[in-house]
Structure 1
Amino acid sequence: MYDHPRAGSAGQPHRDPPTPYNISVLGGAGGSFAPSLPSLVPGSILIGRAEFIPLNLIAHILTFIEDDAASLAALCATSRVLYYMALPVLWKRVHLQSFNGVRSRKRNRDGEFKETPEGMGGASPFSVALNALVTHPNAGKHVRSLGLEGEYGEGDAELERCSRAGRVSENAMMLNICVRAALDRCTELQSFYWKLQTRLLPTTYQGLARLKDLKSLHVRFPSSRAPQPTCEIPTMPHLKRLVVTDYDPLCYPDDISKMIFEAQDLEELQLHFSPRMRDAGEPSVQLSHIVRRNIMADRKMKLKRVGVYNLYGKPETELLLRACDVSLVEEFTSINCFGKDEDETGALQTNFTDQAWVEGPYELFPLMKMWRVDQLHRGHAKSFLHRKGLERIYLLNARHGQPPDYESPTGPDSSTDGSATDSSRTSTPISGSMRSSSLKDLYLDTICKAAGDTLKHLIFPFKWSMSAAMIAKLIRSCPSLTQLSACIECNDVKVWKLLMPFLKQLRALRVKMVSEPGCSDTPPNLPWQNSDDLTEELSKLLANGGYDTLRYIGIGDMVWEAVGWEEKIEKVPICDNGEQFKEESVRRRKVNKVSREHVKDVAIWKYDTLDVI
């Protein structure tokens, strides 16, 4: 990439070049900076006078390709004005991934696709991008988000050798020096995340502490037990979001207590611990140690979003209440923290510690609006009664160490007892048993009673199938639902006719269908075998009134998107015997089958994972 000359001619005062951020100063049209049509369409011929495109229109066009780095880079090489307009968008979000090996990509060479190593003739894309951040005169000041992840050339053997010598590895030190140089150029950085397996060193922490606009920080701690130097992370007073992943007390994590104590504007705290401790039954985590400075100073964090992952430690409720004002928390996530579901059997080495957390006070988080949890327990269900105004409840299907339970539209086994077909699974769903049925009824009753008027999003576990009566009860109690995920008992697509007329605001629906009691495992009149048939059936159903807001439909692992309307010519029988037909134009909803990637930002798919969000 090259640097264009400065705008303005000799004898004229210099004016800043146009960017998406100073259009209001230059004017929407852009004046002399507005590009002509030939600069946008090479080879075009103008008749009469040149036509100019307003800068605000160009900025609007760039919003549609802001995730397409190749197109933005091509625009930067088109003309001077487009260079100035596209460069800030190109460098706004920088995500770099490092790989230990050399990867190859298929490229078109002389009409043939051939394997070409990435970075051939130079360095890896990861190194080239870091070099551009450091050396390019204009790139760094446009970066608002910078992320590094992957593997960097620091193997276990090298780490062990350097640990015995009492020093850090050369690769880790050089990487941190390069990142520090890049951070010094990114003066307006607002978000930084480090997901490399290499340790962050003090030189990088000091560079982050100098950034006055830094609002979000995501740090992944190393998972190696080799002795390594630790440091106290410096103060970042303007921080609003802190995410810490893979925290393991035995892997020499850095001390984050001072950073948390000084970040008085902190609104979100996500603590992800290594699952090793829970798997090994080792309660070595102490939350009070992480927030010890707040406890000693009696300064409560004013958090709005809290997340805890893979926690296994003794409950310290009284101390934690001195460190955090729980009355302000609006969103709470707990994943793999309280053991298995209550209706699951089996010996649990973590049961004594887990039960101490579940039996805690119910009045915590009285103003909570979002609850995301992967464990089903009557203690959690009863706590709903002490929280008014819940808007989003996500009872996850995902479980640590288990495959997802939505591999097919009817699941691995569509029998109503919900028993798993894979004998190797550690959990044994017994939704047909009295214990599981009682827990299911408790959750449904509590949700309808405590959050019915305000509930907008609901993920109800697929392990519990819902009958028509349960669906009717849910619909009557929760008329404001916009996204719903549940397992439904039905033999055909009549579920749509039951759900939709009463959920006028429903935007996304995700279901797993199982047979009603007394029917075969695979409903014979559901067109699961042919997704095209199901697409056509959905198109007809959504053409009826009451489905205008519905956009995303998920059945098992298949997803459809309803986009607009279309006219189709169909044959309609003239007489009752069906022997004569006539062609009529009918209006159908246009339904397209899409991939799971297409709905990655829709809540009922996005939050049904074990990832830190």
Structure 2
Amino acid sequence: MAPQQPRSPLDSINKDIFQGPPMPLQYTSPVAAYQRQSLPLNLVALILSYIDDIADLARVTRTSRLLYYMTLPRLYEKVTLRSYSELRYMDNGRPEGYGSGSPFAMGLNGLVTKNVAQYVRSWRLAGDWRESDVDDFSRGRVPDNSMMLNIAVRAAMDRMERMQNFAWELNTKPLQTIYQGLLACGTLQSLTLKFPSTRIPRPTVVIPPLPNLREFTALDIDPLCYPDDISVLLAHSKKLDSLHLHFSPRMRDAGEESTNLNAYFGRCIANKQPLRLKRYSMINLYTRATNVDLDELIDVDVLEEINFINCNTQDAITVFIDDTWRLFEPQKIPKNLKSMRGDVLDAKQATIMAQLKGLERLYIVNARRKPARTTSNGVSPAANNNSSTSGNLFTNGFPDPTGSGTSQNSPFGNGGGGGGPPQPGTPMSRESATVAGDYLAAITRHLGTTLRHLLLSDQWLLGGDVLMQLGRACPNLEQLGVALEEKNPENMRQLLRGLPRLWALRILIRATTQELELMQSISGNLHEQVISFELRRREWDHLKWLGIGDMVFLCGGVREVPGGPPANTPKSPADPTMGEELGVRRIVKKVGKEAVKDVEIWKMDSLDVI
């Protein structure tokens, strides 16, 4: 019989204390030790679903083995690999990827060699790929590094069993091997292709039809830069319901008519099978109108969203081609159209709008793009004669909240004005006023009851009576962007009384250089103080976002100002609520435009595909 081992001091300790909190805490903690248990996995997954930041997801994977396996699919659900044409250096002076390859190459290597590609649902390749031996294209051969890029991407793509979205936004074209991989991916629903902008001879590919494709986006289409043929893809992808065609702005800047719609929709016209699209976008189109009607290209009865950007600039160098579209009238009006977005302002479009029913979102794009040419060949009269007035909405009806007498120097201050009309040098032109009247008549008489989002042109300076009429006609507005003729805040108060659902307001200002310098010279604190004083009123309670020109403000709750007036302060005859609310301010914070990137009246004011 083996001798008995002597007892260790640890043998006299209760082993249960290692399974729960320390012994002293078991008697003082409000939670009993026997109630401690693991969270259900579905609850853990729900918590992880609220983590959006990639860096946070990566940190969670390092906490435990359980969280590693539960977070890994979220971490690789959306993958973006960006290539750079030059070396980028870190803070310690070393280049990115020091000791191995570039981040783009190592990320691609991880997708090919690791067991993570199965989790990828969205894959995006962007940036500048450094092509070596570009002269090989002119000799009829694809350079080796471009060929190896396509082979590596294809190898990673074949391992992605659940990929639904794929975006190729590199400065080089995908080759046939990429399209073969996309054809073999039965789960692909969205495809984005960006074509190169250089005129180097490249092999062109007829993109095959993808059976389950629902959304297709083509960027920077330039017929002189050897883009691939998308006509077969459009004609035979039967489930396609979203199409976005973004042409290179070079053609319109140069006045070069080098494309036509038959090159893309010719097979659909020949088969007499118009596309059944719900979303349709056309950007930077510059081509001559033909006898092909829109009904032959798209089944307008199914159309729900339409976007036309920079397709009729009324520039002198493009006017002869643009005016050919005025000769054709649409044969059908979309019955189910829910959203319109564009930058063309003419009476013909207002007439079409008056025939729509059920429109919910209307965005007039105010973003401007400077042409690449240095000399102006001509601009529209409306583009030159419609700069807005200086000053700001919040000018009357309240004193200087800072007590420093500096509000007259602020774009939100009185400025010595009483809310009068714009300066004589900046009125709306007669043409712009006529078009604005046609649009507003269509909105107030036919579309107002269903509109939820409305972004008007910054050329249209609306007075108090027009604002009141707009508010009565559109009681369900949630987001509104409008330019003001008068600097009287009472007009906006009356408007807000009739818009109980409005939570985002954008006041459009086409400021001059001097006005922009004035607004930028004033500190953000002064802006916040003046706006918080006006927003203390009950009419502004439901407002969350306020935009004034290029500035954005987040509107919070209400706070009391220390040392405010006593409760028995006499009320002002002009404003009965003045005495009650002088000691109250709205919490207002100036934020960057990144904060409103998902608010539509800011998001949709862009020349890009959205």
CA distance in 1, matches of 2:571, 2:303: 65
Number of the residue aligned with 2:480 = 484
Residue 192 of structure 2 is aligned to residue 218 of structure 1: yes
Secondary structure of the structure 1 residue equivalent to 2:354: helix
CA distance in 1, matches of 2:210, 2:138: 33
Residue 44 of structure 2 is aligned to residue 54 of structure 1: no
Contact 2:421 2:485 in 1 (8 A): no
CA distance in 1, matches of 2:520, 2:209: 59
Residue 96 of structure 2 is aligned to residue 121 of structure 1: no
Residue 69 of structure 2 is aligned to residue 84 of structure 1: yes
Structure 1 residues 604, 123: closer, same or farther in 2, change over 3 A? Answer: same
Contact 1:512 1:556 in 2 (8 A): yes
CA distance in 2, matches of 1:379, 1:75: 56
Number of the residue aligned with 2:591 = 594
Residue 205 of structure 2 is aligned to residue 228 of structure 1: no
Q: Tell me which amino acid in the other structure corresponds to 1:605.
A: W
Contact 2:565 2:582 in 1 (8 A): no
Match of residue 361, structure 1, among 322, 326, 329: 329
Structure 1 residues 401, 365: closer, same or farther in 2, change over 3 A? Answer: farther
Structure 1 residues 147, 408: closer, same or farther in 2, change over 3 A? Answer: farther
Residue 90 of structure 2 is aligned to residue 105 of structure 1: yes
Q: Which has the larger radius of gyration?
A: 2
> Could you say which structure has the greater relative contact order, defined with CA pairs below 8 angstroms and 6 or more residues apart?
2
Number of the residue aligned with 1:605 = 602
Contact 2:536 2:581 in 1 (8 A): no
Structure 1 residues 209, 586: closer, same or farther in 2, change over 3 A? Answer: farther
Contact 1:406 1:556 in 2 (8 A): no
Q: Tell me which amino acid in the other structure corresponds to 2:179.
A: Y
Secondary structure of the structure 2 residue equivalent to 1:103: coil
Match of residue 326, structure 1, among 300, 306, 314: 300
Contact 2:553 2:590 in 1 (8 A): yes
Match of residue 456, structure 1, among 452, 458, 471: 452
Residue 279 of structure 2 is aligned to residue 305 of structure 1: yes
Residue 466 of structure 2 is aligned to residue 470 of structure 1: yes
Deviations 1:25-80 (A, max 9, x none): xxxxxxxxxxx999xxxxxx9984544233233223323322x2222112112211
Structure 1 residues 514, 173: closer, same or farther in 2, change over 3 A? Answer: closer
Q: Tell me which amino acid in the other structure corresponds to 2:328.
A: G
Contact 1:417 1:432 in 2 (8 A): no
Deviations 1:560-583 (A, max 9, x none): 1123454553421566699xxx99
Secondary structure of the structure 1 residue equivalent to 2:108: helix
Q: What TM-score do the two structures reach when normalised by structure 1?
A: 0.80
Number of the residue aligned with 1:69 = 54
TM-aligned CA deviation for residue 544 of structure 1: 3.3
Secondary structure of the structure 2 residue equivalent to 1:229: coil
TM-aligned CA deviation for residue 485 of structure 1: 0.7
Deviations 1:257-311 (A, max 9, x none): 1111221111100111111221222222111221222212111211011000111
Deviations 1:64-101 (A, max 9, x none): 322x2222112112211100111011101111111011
CA distance in 2, matches of 1:408, 1:170: 58
Structure 1 residues 445, 359: closer, same or farther in 2, change over 3 A? Answer: farther
CA distance in 2, matches of 1:466, 1:319: 36
Match of residue 339, structure 1, among 287, 308, 313: 313
Match of residue 551, structure 2, among 558, 561, 564: 558
Match of residue 109, structure 2, among 131, 135, 146: 131
CA distance in 2, matches of 1:464, 1:96: 43
CA distance in 2, matches of 1:192, 1:570: 60
Deviations 1:420-458 (A, max 9, x none): xxxxxxxxxx75332222222222222212211111111
Number of the residue aligned with 1:11 = none
Number of the residue aligned with 1:378 = 347
Note the residue ranges of structure 1 that are not aligned, 5 or more in a row.
1-35, 39-44, 107-113, 341-346, 420-429, 516-520
Q: Tell me which amino acid in the other structure corresponds to 2:61.
A: C
Q: Tell me which amino acid in the other structure corresponds to 2:189.
A: K
Q: Tell me which amino acid in the other structure corresponds to 2:98.
A: M
Contact 2:80 2:124 in 1 (8 A): yes
CA distance in 2, matches of 1:104, 1:211: 37
Secondary structure of the structure 1 residue equivalent to 2:82: strand
CA distance in 2, matches of 1:547, 1:437: 29
Secondary structure of the structure 1 residue equivalent to 2:126: strand
Q: What TM-score do the two structures reach when normalised by structure 2?
A: 0.80
Contact 1:281 1:350 in 2 (8 A): yes
Number of the residue aligned with 1:173 = 147
Contact 2:126 2:168 in 1 (8 A): yes
Number of the residue aligned with 2:239 = 265
Q: Tell me which amino acid in the other structure corresponds to 1:612.
A: V
Number of the residue aligned with 2:400 = none
Number of the residue aligned with 2:422 = 416
What are the residue-to-residue correspondences of 1:170-209 with 2, within 5 Å? 170-209=144-183
Number of the residue aligned with 2:120 = 143
Which is strand-richer, 1 or 2?
1
Give the superposed CA RMSD: 3.4
Deviations 1:490-510 (A, max 9, x none): 335434423211110102100
Q: Tell me which amino acid in the other structure corresponds to 1:192.
A: F
Structure 1 residues 296, 577: closer, same or farther in 2, change over 3 A? Answer: closer
Structure 1 residues 205, 408: closer, same or farther in 2, change over 3 A? Answer: farther
Match of residue 511, structure 1, among 493, 507, 513: 507
TM-aligned CA deviation for residue 359 of structure 1: 4.1
